[in-house]
Amino acid sequence: MTQNPKPAGNKSNLIIAILSLIVVAQSVKIIMDYNDKVEVREQLTHTEDELASTMQRLTDIKTELDDKIAQIQKLGGDVAELQKAKADVEAQLKRNGVRSAKQIKELKDKVSGYETLLKQKDEEIEHLEALNKELYSENRQLKTQKNVLNDSINRLAKNKSELASKVAIASQLKAENISVKAVNGRGKEKEPPFRSKQLEKLKVDFSLADNKVAPIEGKKILIRVVDENGQVIFDTTRGSGSFMLNGKEEWYTAAQEILFDNTRQKLSIIYEKGSPYPSGGYRLEIYTDGYLMGSSTFVVK
């Protein structure tokens, strides 16, 4: 009786088929694992590149923020918002380590916000520049107007000063018809030249010229007798004194106080020296308010 070998061959084939399936399955798993690793590596590489790009953009944004802060400060604007954004950017740049995809997305969202802020500040800078230009133009116009006004004021002040000076000069009194006489002990008068013994008293006669500009007021009229050596004859015990002339204190010989009323007043001033006059030439000067009203000369033999 002959046996059939097919059942043993079938079993072997089944085992081979199972093993083949296992090998195929393992191969598929290996391939899938490899693909997963490649995908993960690619994702990690993409994430790192994305993070690096975002961090570089943050660095650029920090530079732009510095520039905007400087521009707006120069234009007189408010930089508080920009300074806060700059502080946030600096904090992000200081942070080290790996970030998740979610964190990178959040960071990119912040970058987008910073970029929007920078665009808004560009518009603000344009507005501030236009405003400053307008203010500069207005300030220049005001400065020009001020300069014109100051020039007008200075001219008015100068004209007023010149007018006051002219009025002051015009209001100065003038002595007219000046005559110098010697009076002896008997009251007899003599015209110059004089002998010393005749000159016990010196009498000065003159009149005040008409002056419509000069105010009616009290005046102190001074006379100075100056010898040919430039020395003023004075004696404080006989009514002499001092006054200011050209910023310097000078002596006068005699004085008389009057009320000037613009009536061509005639005045006489007498001075008694008390001692003989040395021979020589003399100059007689008449003053009031520190200016010379008139002068004359006489000779003593």
Q: What tens digit of pLDDT does each residue of 123-155 get? A: 989 989 898 888 888 888 888 888 888 887 888
pLDDT of residue 186: 86
Whole-number mean pLDDT of the chain?
Answer: 87
pLDDT band at 40 (very low <50, low <70, confident <90, very high): very low
The top-scoring range by mean pLDDT among 90-94, 165-169, 187-191 is: 187-191
Q: Counting every residue, how long is the chain? A: 301
* pLDDT-derived band at 46, boundaries 50, 70, 90: low
Better-predicted residue by pLDDT, 286 or 42: 286
Put simply, whether the predicted model's pTM sits higher than 0.75 gets the answer: no
CA distance 190 to 182: 5
Tell me what pLDDT residue 3 has. Answer: 53
Mean pLDDT in residue range 156-168: 72
Per-residue pLDDT reduced to its tens digit, 268-300: 999 999 899 999 999 999 999 999 999 999 999
Burial of 128 (0-12, 13-18, 19+ CB in 10 A): middle
Contact 234, 163 (CB under 8 A): no
Q: Identify the weakest region by mean pLDDT among 74-88, 164-178, 242-256.
A: 164-178
- Specify whether the CB–CB gap between 33 and 41 falls below 8 A: no
d(CA 20, CA 27): 10
Q: Residue 227: pLDDT above 70? A: yes
Buried residues in 208-224 as b, exposed as e (16+ CB within 10 A): bbeeeebeeeebebbbb
- Cα 22 to its chain centre, rounded Å, is 96
pLDDT > 70: percent of the chain: 90
How high is the pLDDT of residue 70? 94
Where do the H-state alpha helices sit in 76-176? Answer: 80-94, 101-170
- pLDDT above 90 (res 16): no
CB-CB neighbours of 11 under 10 Å? 10
**d(C-alpha 200, C-alpha 227), whole Å:** 17
300 vs 196: CA distance, rounded Å: 6
Question: Of 189, 211, 194, 195, nearest to 291 (Cα)?
Answer: 211
Outline where DSSP puts E strands in 209-247.
217-227, 232-233, 241-245
What band does 199 get if pLDDT is binned at 50, 70 and 90?
A: confident
- 37 vs 70 pLDDT, higher one: 70
